[in-house]
Amino acid sequence: MPEAAGEINAIWGVSTEVIGLWLAALLTLAIYSFLYGDNPVYKLAEHIFVGISAAYGAGIVYHQVLIPELINPLFRPALAGQDVPKYSLIIPGLLGLMVLGRFLRGHEWISRWPIAFVMGLGAGLSIPRSMQSLVLLQMHGTMQPVWPLVTAEGWVGVDNILMIAGVICTLAYFYFSLPHRGVMGGMSRVGIWFLMIGFGAGFGNTVMARISLLIGRIQFLIYDWLPTIGIHLGGPGVG
Amino acid sequence: MRLQIPIAIGFLAGFFMLVQFFVPHQFFQQSYLELFDWVKIIGAFALVLGLGSLFRTHIDKIRNRRPDHIYSFVTLISFAVMFVFGIVYGVKPHTSFDWLFKNVQTPLEATVFSLLAFFMASAAYRTFRARSVEATLLLTVAVIVMLGRVPISDYVSFVDFHEASEWIMSVPGMAAKRGILLGVALGVVATALRILLGIERSHLGGGGGGSS
């Protein structure tokens, strides 16, 4: 396989794979050093992260949006598989340049045109889309048969009753045009219980997602990095 | 005019998107795809705006010799190295850009987010107190969901934490989520209508010019 542009396989006789492994391990440890307290090593890793992430976004946007969607179709049509330049792209190109008007002191208003255009498109699209996906589909998912209460698959009817009651009570909690007293007060209280269950489940899931990332980093350090310095603690890939 | 023209542009763009959703004609479908590409192009320029703000912050910090300004050099140099590799060699697999992404950005990102596990645990320990029915409910559900995600729950015979966790997520948890989503949808529609009709103008703010 031919070597990709800019690919270097070794630096001073050390494979780039090993250098990458060490770099990743040292940066991982640098970030974890924050658990002891804020320190220069952590700050260094943190600032590298900001710079690299911003450049990653810029590089991807340049190669995957600007070149194939604007530069090639407009200035190098042959590369975009066209016979003639796509002149309609002058409009988004100009609107894009107008965004940079924010940098011109006293002429910041120029950026309002592209912002209004993008916001208008988003607003126009979000009305039918959110009605479709967040209202109608959610209502359809909620209004499921409640009878029979128990089927071969389990307590499906009971679950559906619970779902309908939960959605109505949660909505009652967010309905402020009526005082939360009497029946409305009771419904809103039950709504809070459902919300607490929802938040608890969300919290539990979020914690476990972070724990899973933590396990991934620890596994990387133990099974990928430590063997490079001759320490084998067993586990996957190690005899 | 500096305000009226953007409001008119927003209205026309939004009205077009609203209409195209209901009209399955080829013209509207193609225009929709074309406009989608336009938004991506404008978004690319907006990224330059964000980068400009990042540079301004760090260059100001260096120029004024503020505390820790040395780290601003680190950010600018990291940016320059990654960006130059990306522009010169491309962003495809097995390039220097890809190498930096795999060995610097990915581990840093995963580690920073995994660090939150410690802070969430510490914050939960310090603030969670089962003082009311609601707080107890939240805590209990969180514990059940967490136990349902770890293998140790397989060794508990009196309750199936995995099944309990799945049930919580798909019935009462989903009911709460749907209640919130229905409220969000109504909020989205109301805000979108305000933007289209020019009542909501905060996104056009800044830059002076007023309504003149």
Residue B14 lies in a domain: yes
What does the pLDDT read at residue A4? 54
Inform me whether the pLDDT recorded for A215 exceeds 70. Answer: yes
Helices (H) and strands (E) in chain A, counts: 8, 2
Both structure tokens of B118: 């410690």
ipTM for the whole predicted complex goes beyond 0.85: yes
- pLDDT on residue A5: 55
Nearest CA to CA, how far is B45 from chain A (Å)? 5
Backbone angles phi, psi at B6, to 5 degrees: -60, -35
> Measured between beta carbons, which residues in chain B are less than 8 angstroms from residue A59?
82-83, 85-87, 91, 97
With a cut of 80, say whether residue A52 has pLDDT above it.
Answer: yes
Task: For chain A, give the mean pLDDT.
Answer: 90
pLDDT surpassing 50 at residue B59: yes
Residue of A nearest to B166 (CA): A201
Contact flag A167-B48 (C-beta cutoff 8 Å)? no
Residue B37 domain-assigned? yes
Q: Is A88 on the interface with B (CB under 8 A)?
A: yes
On the question of pLDDT at A235 being above 80, the answer is no
| A16 chain-B contacts, CB cut-off 8 A | 99
| Domain-embedded: residue B198 | no
**Confidence label for B210 from pLDDT (cuts 50, 70 and 90):** very low
User: What's the domain count of chain B?
Assistant: 1
Q: Is B111 within the bounds of a domain?
A: no
A73-108 core/surface letters (b: 16 or more CB in 10 A; e: else): bbeeeeebeeeeebeebeebbebbebbbbbeeeeeb
> Residue B141: closest CA among chain A residues belongs to which residue?
A200
Residue B200, pLDDT above cutoff 60: yes
- Checking if the pLDDT of B63 tops 70, the result is yes
Q: Is A75 on the interface with B (CB under 8 A)?
A: no
For chain A, positions 161-200, list CB contacts with chain B under 8 A: 162-163, 165-167, 169-171, 173-174, 191-200
Determine, yes or no, domain membership for B94: no
Asked, for residue B157, whether it belongs to a domain, the answer is: no
Residue A15, SS3 per DSSP = strand
In angstroms, rounded to a whole number, what is the distance separating the alpha carbons of residues A83 and A87? 12
pLDDT digits (tens, 9 = 90+) for A28-43: 999 999 999 999 999 9
User: How confident is residue A239, by pLDDT bands cut at 50, 70 and 90?
Assistant: very low
- Tell me whether B134 touches chain A (CB under 8 Å): yes
In three-state secondary structure terms, A151 is: strand
Quote helix, strand, coil % in chain B, to nearest 5. Answer: 80, 0, 20
pLDDT at B139 over 50: yes
pLDDT at B152: 81
pLDDT of residue B211: 44
Q: Which two tokens stand for residue B141?
A: 């559900």
Answer yes or no: is pLDDT of A147 > 70: yes
Pick from B18, B124, B178: which is nearest to A138 by CB? B178
Contact with chain A for residue B187, Cβ under 8 A: no
Instruction: Give yes or no for a contact between A222 and A214, defined as CB atoms under 8 angstroms apart.
Output: no
Residue B45 has a pLDDT of 95
A100:B49 CB<8 A: yes
Domain that holds residue B19: 1-66
User: In this model, does residue B95 exceed pLDDT 70?
Assistant: yes
Place B2 in a pLDDT band, splitting at 50, 70 and 90.
confident
pLDDT at A2: 43
Residue B175 lies in a domain: no
Q: List Cβ neighbours of A194 (8 Å cut-off, separation of 6 or more).
A: A166, A169, A170, B172, B175, B176, B179
- For A55-94, how does the pLDDT look when each residue is reduced to its tens digit (9 = 90+)? 999 999 999 999 999 999 999 999 888 889 999 999 999 9
Q: Do B146 and A113 touch (CB under 8 A)?
A: no
Q: Please answer yes or no on whether A120 and B196 come within 8 Å at the CB atom.
A: yes
For residue B209, what pLDDT is reported?
Answer: 46
What average pLDDT does the structure give for chain B?
91
Looking at CA atoms only, how far is residue A29 from chain B in angstroms? Answer: 9
Whether residue B20 is contained in a domain is answered as yes
Q: Mapping DSSP to helix (H, G, I), strand (E, B) and coil, where does residue A144 land?
A: coil
Q: Label each residue of A99-152 as H, E or C.
A: HHHHHCCCCHHHHHHHHHHHHHHHHHHHHHHHHHHHHHHHHHHHCCCCCCCCEC
In this predicted structure, the answer to whether residue A8 has a pLDDT above a threshold of 80 is: no
Chain A nearest-CA distance from B106, in A, is: 9
Considering only alpha carbons, which residue of chain A is nearest residue B145?
Answer: A204
